[in-house]
Amino acid sequence: MGNRLSKIYTRTGDDGTTGLGDGTRVAKDSARVASYGTVDELNSVIGVVLAQADLGQNVPANVRETLVQVQHDLFDLGGELCIPGMAMIHAGDIDRLETTLDGFNADLPALKDFILPGGGAAAAHCHVARTVCRRAEREVVALARTEAVRAEAIRYLNRLSDLLFVIARVLARASGHGEVLWQHERRKK
């Protein structure tokens, strides 16, 4: 691994720029920085989901293991986005997400209604993670319009948002709160 930070502030970003992993300096509001910054935000929100177990929430062990692996993947994805030309997310990572998603989904009842975010603290935070994941995906797609981005990065985020939705369902059921269903009939009164 490269150099470790021994000094947290460098003052080099005081002019509104930041350094990419390859040493290139770019504006802090560039599409690339927004992309990997939102991936970092997503990783943090997943950390909040995992912290719910420490607060007495019922987070099943297989969910915990999955989310910890996802955090590692997201750190890799952030690195890939921070270093143009780097490849750290691969088809096998996406295949793993799909297999995991299918496994969690197999035990859930079929959806007949839309689900609102909620169902206990862990499930609600997982819904926040899902929406941050969708935003990260949009930002990576926007970046791909102007700069080279590997298709695996976009595919990973797309599949991850689906997995987070299913995990939110699992967490809502595990908490005992159950899923919060959208009451579309309430408008017909």
Mind listing the pLDDT tens digit for each residue in 88-114? 999 999 999 999 999 999 999 998 889
Mind listing the pLDDT tens digit for each residue in 23-34? 889 878 899 999
Q: What torsion, rounded to 10 degrees, do the Cα atoms 138, 144, 149, 152 define? A: 50
Tokens for 156, please give them.
């990973």
Residue 14 resides in a domain: no
Residue 51 resides in a domain: yes
Q: What torsion, rounded to 10 degrees, do the Cα atoms 162, 63, 44, 95 define? A: -50
> What pLDDT does residue 18 have?
78
| Structural domain for 86, as ranges | 28-188
Residue 64 resides in a domain: yes
Output b/e per residue, 102-118; b: 16+ Cβ within 10 A: eebbeeeeeeeeebeeb
Mind listing the pLDDT tens digit for each residue in 148-167? 999 999 999 999 999 999 99
Mean pLDDT of the chain: 90
Residue 127 resides in a domain: yes
Question: What is the arithmetic mean of pLDDT over 68-93?
Answer: 97
Q: What is the CATH number of the domain that holds 61?
A: 1.20.1200.10
Structural domains counted in the chain: 1
Q: Cα–Cα distance between 72 and 42 in angstroms, integer?
A: 12
Residue 9 resides in a domain: no
Residue 7 resides in a domain: no
